[in-house]
């Protein structure tokens, strides 16, 4: 879980942003933002809000009492009840009423997250929004979340820990005849055991030729000897993700697979040479792309991004793409995922590290071996 002292530090950053934008109050209803600033990890499927006034007074409104919270006030709305019918519309109305009750008579502009504000908050008719049109703070918060605090790094490391346990389990048991669904079940069970609770597991489980055209969920396709299995995993654990990829072979790697693997591994060496604060995503992408294109046998097969930021989302800023002018910042966590694909490989080889950006370069947070066998 996030550290409450770090949550309060993030609240101070938000207050500085509010001062710059002349906001009198900010009311954030994206569950990720609520967790980021309050440390309260509540059911993301239910409406919730974190509010903070320019005075620094803060509020959490949720459907249930969290284990911890960095907020001056806590308000619970009823939501589920046997006394009357309810649904998400009634929950959002209760949420908006609670915010208005706790922030009465606020004047000036309000900051909202337009993509997640319920009708009551977005309408600005509950009293809290004050005068004028509410301001969308979503993109500002995306930028704020790029640099990770120590508690966020710890949360990402924990997601990596359970993912690496899954890699160890599935690599040891891959065999001809088992299906992609069998492999998925091994991965899922290992994650649950390592986490000690359920884990929201998303990822790519396409094996053999299926991986050439992209990824996707597992199927009942049986694995054949020599197939490459691309396991690109991005589980969510206590609000944070990692995004790692390892490729394993069913049986013994062929000479072509070993050669392609070595070239993809070298792409990480190339990436690490250029990844540092101030370098743009397009520069990193181009360095990786140029290296992969130098392998003539599978030239043109690397047709996806070279990486992206991560944290509470699997895809965060910055992007490592040809269209990205976003420059790396110290403190970001960035996934880098070069790959090569082709029929001769019986699939594809994609290898992904999660790098922490430091003042002079990057260092991987993950440690599980990259070898095919």
Task: Print the domain residue range for 20.
Answer: 4-144
Domain boundary among 144, 178, 208: 144
Same domain, 90 and 162: no
69 found inside a domain = yes
372 found inside a domain = no
SS3 content of the chain, % helix, strand, coil (to 5): 35, 20, 40
Q: Cα separation of 267 and 291, whole Å?
A: 6
What is the rounded end-to-end Cα distance, in angstroms, of the chain? Answer: 35
Show contacts of 175-178: CB within 8 Å, 24+ apart. Answer: 175/223, 175/250, 176/222, 176/223, 176/224, 176/225, 176/250, 176/251, 177/222, 177/223, 178/222, 178/223
Same domain, 60 and 198: no
Buried b (16+ CB within 10 A) or exposed e, 264-284: beebbebbbebbbbebbbbbb
| Contact present, 145 and 316 (Cβ < 8 Å) | yes
Same domain, 132 and 253: no
Q: Cα separation of 272 and 266, whole Å?
A: 10
Same domain, 234 and 268: yes
Domain boundary among 118, 144, 170: 144
Q: Cα separation of 90 and 69, whole Å?
A: 25
β-strand partners of 316: 309
pLDDT (tens, 9 = 90+) of the chain, 373 residues, equals 999 999 999 999 999 999 999 999 999 999 999 999 999 999 999 999 999 999 999 999 999 999 999 999 999 998 888 988 989 888 988 998 888 888 765 667 889 998 887 655 655 444 544 546 789 999 999 999 999 999 999 999 999 999 999 999 999 999 999 999 999 999 999 999 999 999 999 999 999 999 997 789 999 999 999 999 999 999 999 999 999 999 999 999 999 999 999 999 999 999 999 999 999 999 999 999 999 999 999 999 999 999 999 999 999 999 999 999 999 999 999 999 999 999 999 999 999 999 999 999 999 999 999 999 9
CA nearest neighbour of 183 among 201, 199, 195: 201
Q: What is the CATH number of the domain that holds 98?
A: 3.40.350.10
Q: Cα separation of 320 and 329, whole Å?
A: 13
Same domain, 130 and 180: no
Q: Cα separation of 194 and 313, whole Å?
A: 21
373 found inside a domain = no
303 found inside a domain = yes
Indicate the DSSP class of residue 61. E
SS3 233: strand
State the total domains in the chain. Answer: 2
370 found inside a domain = no
Same domain, 160 and 251: yes
Q: What is the CATH number of the domain that holds 322?
A: 3.90.230.10
Same domain, 173 and 306: yes
Same domain, 234 and 286: yes
Domain boundary among 144, 172, 198: 144
Same domain, 55 and 168: no
Please state the separation of Cα 86 from the chain's center in Å.
Answer: 32
SS3 350: strand
Same domain, 24 and 64: yes
371 found inside a domain = no
* pLDDT at 106 (0 to 100): 60
102 found inside a domain = yes
The CA-atom distances, in angstroms, between 241 and each of 8, 40, 115 are 22, 17, 21
Same domain, 171 and 138: no
| Contact present, 239 and 148 (Cβ < 8 Å) | no
Same domain, 169 and 198: yes
278 found inside a domain = yes
* pLDDT at 125 (0 to 100): 47
* pLDDT at 118 (0 to 100): 66
| Tokens matching residue 290 | 């140029």
């Amino acid at each position: 879980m996030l550290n409450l002292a770090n949550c309060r530090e993030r609240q101070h950053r938000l207050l500085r942003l509010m001062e710059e934008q002349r906001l009198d109050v900010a009311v954030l209803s994206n569950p990720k933002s609520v967790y980021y600033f309050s440390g309260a990890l509540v059911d993301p499927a239910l409406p919730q809000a974190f509010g903070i006034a320019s005075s620094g007074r803060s509020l959490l409104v949720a459907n249930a009492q969290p284990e911890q919270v960095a907020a001056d006030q806590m308000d619970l709305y009823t939501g589920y009840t046997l006394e009357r019918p309810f649904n998400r519309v009634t929950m959002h109305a209760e949420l908006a009423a609670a915010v208005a009750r706790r922030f009465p008579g606020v004047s000036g502009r309000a900051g909202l997250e337009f993509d997640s504000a319920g009708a009551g908050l977005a309408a600005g008719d509950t009293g809290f929004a004050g005068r004028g049109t509410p301001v969308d703070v979503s993109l500002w918060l995306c930028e704020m979340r790029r640099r990770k605090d120590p508690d966020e790094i710890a949360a990402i490391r924990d997601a990596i820990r359970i993912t690496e346990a899954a890699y160890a389990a599935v690599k040891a048991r891959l065999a001809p005849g088992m299906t992609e669904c069998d492999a998925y079940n091994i991965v899922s069970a290992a994650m649950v055991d390592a986490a000690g609770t359920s884990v929201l597991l998303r990822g790519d489980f396409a094996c053999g030729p299926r991986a050439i055209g992209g990824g996707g969920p597992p199927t009942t396709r049986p694995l054949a000897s020599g197939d490459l299995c691309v396991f690109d995993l991005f589980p969510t654990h206590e609000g944070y993700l990692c995004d790692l990829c390892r490729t394993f072979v069913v049986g013994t790697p062929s000479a072509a697979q070993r050669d392609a693997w070595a070239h993809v591994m070298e792409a990480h060496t190339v990436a690490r040479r250029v990844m540092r604060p101030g370098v743009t995503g397009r520069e990193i992408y181009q360095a990786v792309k140029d290296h992969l294109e130098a392998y003539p046998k599978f030239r043109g097969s690397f047709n996806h991004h070279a990486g992206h930021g991560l944290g509470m989302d699997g895809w965060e800023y910055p992007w490592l793409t040809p269209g990205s002018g976003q420059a790396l910042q110290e403190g970001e966590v960035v996934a880098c995922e070069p790959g090569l694909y082709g029929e001769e490989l019986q699939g594809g080889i994609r290898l992904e590290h999660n790098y922490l950006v430091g003042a002079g370069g990057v260092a991987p947070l993950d440690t599980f071996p990259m070898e095919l066998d």
